[in-house]
A and B are shown apart, each in its own frame.
Chain A
Amino acid sequence: MEKGYSIKSKPIYGTLVWQDHAMHHVVIAEGEGGKALLKLFQQKLPREPLSVLYLAADPQAEKYATTVQKIINEPVTIKDSQAELLNALKATLDSCYMGTQFYVAGTEGFIWKVAAVLRDAGVDDKNVFKELCGSLGRRLYCVHCKTTNENVHHNIHVCTGCGRHLIVREHFSRLMGAYMGFMIDAEVPGEIPAAEEIYP
């Protein structure tokens, strides 16, 4: 990688910090994002109304869930599938009002799926704080067949939709929550460098 290089459409994620002016906090996390949740609660347990939604789909995440549950005396919504978690989030949004701040922690794919639900509900992205946790796997949108490939760990990836070898273009769409992938050997079919795992 060249010095000074950056993907200029790639969002830069921060560390979750409670927003003092909030009227209501909604925290949405998955998997390793459980650690970001615990870090948040080490900062403080806010006075304002709080909703916590957590996706725990593996034993480690279940441990985080138990710990979080113990340290805050408020109900935590725990789900074991992403679809259920997003549905629970939609239901929570019905009772949100102006001044709600949102905190999201998890993989990049998860973050932007949550962001899409919030956007559809009219939440301004300025009020959504994001921390990247866990796998660096990317979502890769195949520009040829429009399939979005989940959890891509290698710089060259065989599209699950069309079977083409895709290379990641240095371009990220927040609406799609994905990087653009395009065919690497279009000019000379079969000329494909060895794939390397660079998004572990």
Chain B
Amino acid sequence: MNMAFKQETLRDDYTFSNSPESVRRFPFPFDEDEYMYSVNIEPHDAGPPGSVFEHAIDIDEHYLTECEERRIVLEDDHGRYVALPHMMDAQWDMVELVMTNLAKDYPESFQLTQDGDNWHWVNQPLGIDQKFVFGDTSTLPMEPFEFISRQVQGDWVIMDQRDEDLFADLGIVTGQADWSMAFDAGMSFKEWHAPVPHAPEMGIFDRALKYLLHLQYGSPVRRTNWRMCVNPRLDTSSEKWHLWGPDNVSVTAENVAEKVYLRVELQALFRLPRSNAIAFSIRTYMVSLEDLAKYPRWIKRLYRVLTSLHPDLAEYKGLNSYLPYVLNWLKPQDDGEVLPKGTQPE
């Protein structure tokens, strides 16, 4: 794949854009014309070369952009990083997970040398060259999880497993869809999911939790979730709602195609070996409606999903202010063709 890293902005002047390859590999989430919540979990197996599933942790052309964005967010509010004290083993598990995967899958950009506990990490795109002793926090410039999570795309929540439940006890969340890690810190699986409509009655969280409690080391799983957003603003956190809320009412019939983005979270779950915690990565991909329209199959399907979406989901996902513009723009592009099941672009 194209490993030229771009330097774009995800705020203010929004210079973010997707190359044609980046649009083509977008993890379009709808395999049918209707959408409702489900326990859509599948093995996180390697996908075709170039796809977002090729590697366990996907690094793409926005790598530098997103690392810089994370730095900006943390500088403004370090509370986006939460680390409860009993999670130190999990912090080191994360160092291992990220470093070993990136070095194995992107050797031209990342190199790791391990000599017992003496590790040497080189991150070429970010210009980091760090020797440290694995397990000894004093040999790193900051806590191990903060150190490594500043060098990887996507938000991460690391869940402690105890009392037949999962607890959000460690996390770095700087590009989320309207929730707050600082507020959800320490919550159990069902507590942090409390605001989600309908899913509890459908038994989704009971089944998902039961499944995850038995997640095995070496057999990661994944699912997708989706939202939309106005402007390619990664940081649509609850914390910053006062900043991005006004954008929701800036959509017009003229600008809708370039301003509104479909925003997909590729969520992967990894059991961690030392701590027995579970790492949950939330990797967000954003594509504008304009770019999505390069693939008629996607645009027709999106139209059908959005017209049939349960009103409570539309409200929860925060679409209501601009959904009418989106539907008006999509409508003429759907000729009613029958679309076979599947998420592929063509």
Contacts and interface: CB of A to CB of B under 8 A. Distances in A.
B305 to A, nearest CB: 24
B186 A174 contact: yes
B211 interface: no
Interface stretch (B53-61, B128-136, B177-185, B327-335): B177-185
B149 to A, nearest CB: 21
Given A169-B195, A188-B249, A9 B321 contact: no
Interface string A8-39: 11100000000000000000000000000000
Contacts, number: 68
A143 B201 CA distance: 28
A180 B194 CA distance: 12
Interface stretch (B6-14, B68-76, B139-147, B236-244): B236-244
A127 to B, nearest CB: 13
Nearest to B243: A186
A7 interface: yes
Given A8-B200, A143-B238, A180 B249 contact: no
A183 B249 CA distance: 15
Given A143-B241, A183-B245, A187-B245, A173 B193 contact: no
A172 B188 CA distance: 12
A183 B242 contact: yes
Interface in A126-167: 141, 143-144, 146, 164
Contacts of A164: 242
A188 B242 CA distance: 10
A141 B186 CA distance: 16
Interface residues of A, number: 25
B192 A9 contact: yes
A187 B318 CA distance: 11
B79 interface: yes
A31 B179 CA distance: 35
B275 interface: no
Interface in B148-206: 180, 182-187, 190-195, 200-201
A171 B183 contact: yes
Interface string B234-277: 00001111101110110000000000000000000000000000
B185 A175 contact: yes
Contact of A187 (B183, B192, B246): B246
Given A7-B194, A9-B191, A182-B238, A141 B245 contact: no
Interface of A: 4, 7-10, 141, 143-144, 146, 164, 169-176, 180, 182-183, 186-189
14 contacts: A9-B190, A10-B194, A141-B183, A143-B238, A173-B187, A174-B187, A175-B186, A175-B187, A176-B183, A180-B238, A182-B238, A182-B241, A183-B242, A183-B245
Given A143-B183, A171-B195, A186-B244, 5 more contacts: A8-B193, A169-B195, A171-B183, A172-B191, A173-B183
Interface of B: 79, 180, 182-187, 190-195, 200-201, 238-242, 244-246, 248-249, 321
